A and B are shown apart, each in its own frame.
Chain A
Amino acid sequence: MELYHLSIEEARRVLDNGELSPVELANSLLDRIGALDDEICSYITVTKEKALEQARDAEKALKEGVRHPLLGIPLAIKDNICTKDIRTTCSSLILENFVPPYDSTAAKKLGEQGYVLTGKTNLDEFAMGSSTENAAFGRTKNPWDKARVPGGSSGGSAAAVASSQCLAALGSDTGGSIRQPAAFCGVVGLKPTYGRVSRYGLVAFASSLDQIGPITRSVRDSAIVMNAISGNDRNDSTSAEVDVPDFSSALGHDIKGMKFGIPREYFREGLDRGVEDAVAAAIKQLESLGAHPVEISLPHTEYAVAAYYILATSEASSNLARYDGVKYGLRVDGEDLSEMYRKTRESGFGAEVKRRIILGTYALSSGYYDAYYKKAQQVRTLVVQDFNKAFEDVDLIVTPTTPAPAFKAGDKTDDPLQMYLTDIFTISLNLAGVPGISIPCGFTSQDLPVGLQIIGKHFDEATVLKAAYAYEQATEWHKRKPEI
C-alpha cells in the first residue's frame, strides 16, 4: 500500500517501530499533493517547508523515545482555524494576506503532540456554504466525480482526506459543514458536542453553533483526533468543564441491546432513492449486530432550517463587523472612515457572505427583532426539547446525513434557498448542540458515497463512536477509495 493511504492507526505502528520515518511519510503526502491538487484544489496553502521541518523534529523525538498518538502524523487544517505564522484566509479576499500571530487551541494541541501540518484546506468563504464553490481562490472538486461538489463548507478537508492528501484533517461545523462534506466524499466526519472542543482561534461565523471536529478515513482515527483536541480551555468561556473520556477505549464493544431512534421526519418524500436504500440497509446491519431500531419523532425538524438561517446570519452579521480594514486584512481607501469601511467590505467579501450579512442585518434591525431573532430562538428551544424527549427512550438516533448525494457544481449556485436546504438533516444538531458523526454506508447507482448520521446525547461522543465503529467493522464501505 502507498504510504499516503495509511490510516493514523497504521502509520502510528510503523512510525513507532522504526519501519517508517516521519520525513518519508511527509514526503509521500507532499508528492501526492503535488500530483493531485492542481485539479482537486483541496488546499489553499500547502506548508511544505513547515511540514518537512516538523517531520524532522518528529523523527528526532521518536529516536529519543517520545511517543504521542499524533507524533509525525501529517494532518491538514481548515483555513478558518488560526495557525501561528501561517496564512489563514477563510477563503476570503478580505483575509488573503492575514497571518495569525497565535495558534488556535485545536492547532496548539496538535502541535503539542508533534503533528505534521501539510497545509490549510479550502472552504466556502467564512464557512458559509454547502459546496465549497463560494471560495475566493477556486472551487474544490469531489474526488469521486470531479464534476460534482465535495460538499461544504469543509469541502477542502473532506476532499483532501478522501483523496489521501493528508491522513486526517480538522474541519468546522456550524450547520453540517463537517458531516455533509464527509458524506459527499465517503469519509468519516464528527461534529462534537457544542463546548467539547475550544473555539479559540476558530474564525467566528455563528458563535453559538460553530464547533471544530475531525474528518478522517476511519472511526478509530476520529477517536484519536478527538482525544487530542477535546477539553476545557480558559481562552473559550463556552468550552465546557466536562471530563474528556478516552474515546479510543470506547471502541470495540458490542452494541447488543442498544436502542436506535429512527426519526420518521427524515424519511419523507424528496429523499434520494439511493440514499434511502443505503440507509435502510445500514439500519438492518445495525439490527443484525443486536441493536434495536425504534421509530421516533422529532416533530420540529422541518422548522430547523428556517430558524437556523435567522440565527446563523444574525450572528454572522455581528461577527463580521470586525472586518473594517483597520487592524488586519484588506483595506480599500476612501474619502472618510465610513467610505473606507464600505469599500473595504465591498471588495473583500464575496456574494454569499454579503447576502448573509444583509439577511442577518435585516433580522436584527429595529422593529424586526421579536418577529425573527426571538422567534427563531423560541423554535430552537422546541428543537432542543425534541432531542431531549427522544433521548429519554433511545441511546442514539440514526438518519441519513444528507437527503441526496453530491450534486453537480453550479447546480444550486443561483438559488441560495435550495443550497440551504441541502443541510436539512444536519442543521438541527447544531441548534441543539448535540454531537453527530457521518460515516460511509454505501453508494448510489451512480457510485456516489452515502453517509449515515449517528446522533448522540450531549457529551456522549463515546457512544456515537462506539456504534459507528461497530458498524464500520461489519462493513467494507470505508475501504473503497476514489479512482483519481
Chain B
Amino acid sequence: MDIEHLAMLAKLNLSDEEKALFAKQVGSVIDYIGKLNELDTSQVEPTAHVLPIKNVFREDNIQDSLPRDKAMHNAPRKDENYYRVPKVIE
C-alpha cells in the first residue's frame, strides 16, 4: 500500500509519523478484511440498495431557496457574491 499516493489522491497532507502509523494500522485492517475471500461470491449480486428504491422524480417547480447572503454566510473567503480561492488558471 502506497500511503503517499493515497494521501495525494485524497488531497491530504500527512506527517511522516502519520504515514508510518497509518501504513501499519490500515495494513492490519486490510489484512482483516482479507477474510472476505473465504466466501465464494461468484454467483452473488452486489447490493446496490437495501430497499427497492428506484429513481425518484418530482415536478420541476420553483421552490423557496436560501437568500445568497445566507447561503454564503459560512464561506471562509468571499468577495461580494463570489467565493475567493487561490488563482487556478496560469
Contact = CB atoms under 8 A, between A and B. Distances in A.
A329 B76 contact: yes
A294 interface: no
Interface centre among B25, B29, B87 (most CB of A within 10 A): B29
A335 to B, nearest CB: 7
Interface in A335-361: 335-343, 345-346, 349, 351, 354-355, 357-359, 361
A417 interface: yes
A425 interface: no
B7 A358 contact: yes
Given A358-B3, A417-B28, A432-B50, A98 B74 contact: yes
Interface string B5-39: 01101111110001000100110111011011111
B12 A342 contact: yes
A349 B29 CA distance: 20
Nearest to A234: B58
A77 B46 CA distance: 35
Nearest to A195: B51
B86 A336 contact: yes
A195 B70 CA distance: 29
Contact of B53 (A238, A303, A333): A238
Interface string B35-77: 1111101001111111101001010000000100011111111
Q: Is the interface of A mostly helix, strand, loop or mixed?
A: helix
B46 A355 contact: no
A417 B86 contact: no
B18 A351 contact: yes
Contact of A346 (B9, B13, B26, B70): B13
Contacts of B30: 359, 362
Contacts of B9: 361, 365
B41 to A, nearest CB: 4
Contacts of A379: 36, 39, 41, 44
A306 B36 contact: yes
A1 B53 CA distance: 48
A296 B14 CA distance: 47
A380 B36 CA distance: 11
Contact of A334 (B18, B70, B86): B86
A29 interface: no
Contacts of A281: none
Contacts of A307: 36
A374 interface: yes
B47 A380 contact: yes
B54 to A, nearest CB: 10
Contact of A382 (B41, B48, B50): B41
A381 B46 contact: yes
Q: Is the interface of B mostly helix, strand, loop or mixed?
A: loop
B22 A358 contact: yes
Given A334-B86, A433-B51, A354 B46 contact: no
Contacts of B26: 355, 358-359, 362
A376 interface: yes
A102 B71 CA distance: 9
A325 B86 CA distance: 11
A358 B76 contact: no
Contacts of A340: 85-86
B7 to A, nearest CB: 7
A194 B10 contact: no
A306 B76 contact: no
A467 to B, nearest CB: 23
Contact of B6 (A208, A329, A365): A365
A208 B50 contact: yes
B33 A306 contact: yes
Given A234-B58, A306-B35, A328 B75 contact: yes
Given A328-B74, A345-B12, A354-B14, A372 B33 contact: yes
A197 interface: no
A259 interface: no
Contacts of B88: 336-337
B88 to A, nearest CB: 5
A237 interface: yes
A372 B29 CA distance: 12
Contacts of B28: 416-417
Contacts of A420: 29
Interface string A245-277: 000000000000000000000000000000000
B46 A380 contact: yes
18 contacts: A101-B70, A326-B85, A327-B75, A327-B83, A329-B76, A331-B76, A345-B11, A351-B18, A355-B25, A358-B12, A359-B26, A375-B36, A380-B46, A380-B47, A381-B44, A381-B46, A417-B25, A417-B28
Interface of B: 1, 3, 6-7, 9-14, 18, 22, 25-26, 28-30, 32-33, 35-39, 41, 44-51, 53, 56, 58, 66, 70-77, 83, 85-88
Nearest 7 CB-CB pairings of A with B: A433-B50, A377-B46, A328-B74, A331-B76, A346-B13, A378-B41, A237-B56
